[in-house]
Amino acid sequence: MFLKRHKIKNGPKVLFPLILCLVFLISCDGFGDDQDGNYEDVDCNNLHVGLLTSNTDIVKTEVNKLLVDLYPIKTDEDKFGQKNNLDILIKKLNKQCNNLSAELICYACIKTNPPQSEILIKTDSLGIPIERIIDISTPDNAVLQCVSVH
């Protein structure tokens, strides 16, 4: 109807690409996000329990969900290529889990092979402040991995 009224000769040829572009833009999940959309949601309640009980298996399971797409990018300033990835992990934890606060303690500071980094997690249990440290394996050739909590 619109096409006849306005006498657009190539209406279907024009509308099809336009509709296709619109469908593509609508279907893009996380369109415009800053590198924090391609991960499985962490179960913050489960992570909280794991942190409170110092259960390494639970903490590893939840934290590693956020690490699957964080591959190292080496630079002259970062020989392991993981500093930015640790910052992204901390951002994801703080964004998704409002019942905890994460901050970097040190980067590649534990001299293991590969080196490990430490992240401080602050939370509470019935109003009592709780602090835990998670150790993150920081390889220069693979994604980060949570290895322990203490």
pTM recorded for the entire structure: 0.73
Is residue 33 situated within a structural domain?
Answer: no
pLDDT tens digit string along 112-137?
A: 999 999 999 999 999 999 999 999 99
With a CB cutoff of 8 Å and minimum separation 6, the contacts of 90 are 102, 103, 104, 119
Q: How many domains does the chain have?
A: 1
**Number of residues in the chain:** 150
Whether 144 is covered by a domain: the verdict is yes
Is the residue at 80 inside a domain? yes
Q: Is residue 24 part of a domain?
A: no
User: pLDDT (tens digit, 9 = 90+) per residue, 36-72?
Assistant: 444 468 899 999 999 999 999 999 999 999 999 899 9
Residue 112 forms part of a structural domain: yes
Identify the three-state secondary structure at position 118: strand
pLDDT for 30 equals 42
Q: How far apart are CA 89 and CA 95, in angstroms?
A: 10
Asked whether residue 97 is domain-assigned, the answer is yes
Structural domain contains residue 140: yes
Beta bridge partners of 129: 124
Question: Whole domain around residue 100: which residue ranges?
Answer: 44-149
Assess if residue 39 is contained within a domain. no
